[in-house]
Structures are given as C-alpha cells and as structure tokens.
C-alpha cells in the first residue's frame, strides 16, 4: 500500500517568512495530492491540491509543487501570518471513486510575531 | 457548498455501551464516505470506506464487528462503536466525496470526540 512521509514534524517561522513542508510517497499509482490544514479540535480543511498532470499550482500565498519522478511534493506558504499556525497534513491517493487517501504524519507550524 | 456535518460533536459514555455517530453531506450526494480515527497529536488513520448501498471496506486491524458502518443513503453514513471501552476514546472524523465522476476531493466533517469512562 501507499506510504507517505512528511517533514518536518514541527516548524517555527517568524511572521512574514516563508514555510516549506515536504512529503514523499511510495506508490507510483498515486496521482492526487491534497494538503489539509487542521486547527486544534477542528476538522481538516483542504487548502490546495494537485494532480499528477501538473507540476506546480499556486493560490495566493500557497503553492504546491510535485515531482512525480522523485515521488515528492511540497507545500510552500509565503508571507506567513499568525493565523497560518496549525497542523498541516499532506496526503496521496490514486484517482477513482473508491480510492482512499493516505495521510502524512503532519507538520505543526507555528508563526511567531 | 460541500458541507459535511457530524453528530454528535462530543459524547461521553460508560464502558460497555454502544455509541452511534452520524455523518451527513448537506448539499451534495456522496457516493463514498470515509471514517477516520485521530489520536491526540497524531495523523488521521483510515478505519473504513463506506459506499452507498454496499458493505463497508475495513482497513487492516479494524474490527468490523466492533465498528459497525451503515451507508443507507447518498447523504448519510453512520458509525456505531459497539461495547465501547476506554481504549476506544478518540476523535472520530468522517469525510465524503462527491458523486460526480472524476471528483477526488474529500470534505471532512467536524469530528466527534468520544470519551469512554
């Protein structure tokens, strides 16, 4: 089955700096890669996703890059703000109606003033 | 759009009792719903995949007789924790995927915190 590794487990940045979280996956059949943000006690919220036919996707301060050859993908947050503080999870799955997500272990991001 | 609700948001029960958790897609039809379990400061662990009108598919190590899943309609799936014990205490989260072909996105419910005394 799929195995997703995520690094770092914790990340502290100053407000305004950039944050980068990296994930690797093992199953070459995976072609859908979402990123979720989860605040304490809340539901995971989709912040951006990318499919394997695209190498990079950007949405305002958030971007995701994908390298299918190396089987890794990364989340980039620029101009970080205190409200970006949360736990971020990457995930991977093959497409299809029955396909399931395999989550990374999570990164706790702390944006300090 | 794409709102998923879960009920109850928290529940405390005595050891040996059963607890039912509901997951509803409010504004879309969900062909597939997923049930996850999350321990404090840990990732989401998939328990089972639920397809409308068919039996759920359980992940390895998840007892299907203990965690009963029913997906009776395109907008409702239920998880029943039978004969709950303290080690079943956890945060249970469901997610739903839209019915349209080619849609991969999973939308998550707000979770249910179960505490078994």
**Partners of residue B42 in chain A, C-beta under 8 Å:** 105-106
A110/B68 Cα distance (integer angstroms): 38
Is B30 a residue whose pLDDT tops 90? no
Residue B105 touches chain A, beta carbons under 8 Å: yes
pLDDT tens digits along B72-103 = 888 999 999 999 999 999 999 999 987 665 56
What is the rounded (10 degree) CA torsion for B81, B53, B94, A81? 180
Q: Least CA distance to A98: which residue of chain B?
A: B32
pLDDT (tens, 9 = 90+) of chain A, 113 residues, equals 889 999 999 999 999 999 999 999 999 989 999 999 999 989 999 999 998 888 999 999 999 999 999 999 999 999 999 999 999 999 999 866 557 899 999 999 999 99
- How far is the alpha carbon of A51 from chain B, nearest alpha carbon, in Å? 10
Residues of chain B with pLDDT > 70, as a percent, come to 95
Which whole-number Å values give the CA distances from A84 to A14, A16, A25, A62, A81, in the listed order? 11, 11, 25, 11, 5
Q: How confident is the model at residue B60 (pLDDT cuts 50, 70, 90)?
A: very high
**Which of B37, B15, B44 has the alpha carbon at shortest distance from A93?**
B44
State the number of CA atoms in the 13 A half-sphere of B34 facing the CB. 22
Tokens 């700096």 belong to which residue? Answer: A17
Per the CB < 8 A criterion, the answer to whether A73 and A52 are in contact is: no
Instruction: Render B78-100 in DSSP notation, one character per residue.
Output: EEEE-S--GGG-EEEEEEEEESS
- How far is the alpha carbon of A110 from chain B, nearest alpha carbon, in Å? 14
pLDDT at B100: 67
């Amino acid at each position: 089955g799929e195995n997703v590794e995520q690094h770092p487990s914790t990340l502290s940045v100053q407000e305004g700096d950039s944050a980068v979280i990296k994930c690797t996956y093992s199953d070459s059949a995976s072609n859908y890669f979402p990123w979720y943000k989860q605040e304490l006690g809340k539901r995971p919220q989709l912040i951006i996703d990318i499919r394997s036919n695209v190498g990079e996707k950007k949405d305002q301060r958030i971007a995701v890059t994908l390298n299918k050859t190396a089987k890794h993908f990364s989340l980039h947050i620029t101009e970080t703000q205190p409200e970006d503080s949360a736990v971020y999870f990457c995930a991977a799955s093959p497409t299809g109606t029955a396909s399931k997500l395999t989550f990374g272990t999570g990164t706790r991001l702390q944006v300090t003033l | 759009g794409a709102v998923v609700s879960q009920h109850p948001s928290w529940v405390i029960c005595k050891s040996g009792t059963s607890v039912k958790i509901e997951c509803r897609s409010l504004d879309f039809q969900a062909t597939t719903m997923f049930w996850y379990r999350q321990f404090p400061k840990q990732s989401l662990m998939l328990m089972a995949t639920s397809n409308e009108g068919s039996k759920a598919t359980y992940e390895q190590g998840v007892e299907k007789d203990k965690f009963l899943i029913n997906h009776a309609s395109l907008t409702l799936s239920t998880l029943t924790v039978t004969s709950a014990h303290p080690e079943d205490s956890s945060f249970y989260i469901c997610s739903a995927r839209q019915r349209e072909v080619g849609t991969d996105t999973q939308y998550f419910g707000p979770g249910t915190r179960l505490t078994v005394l």
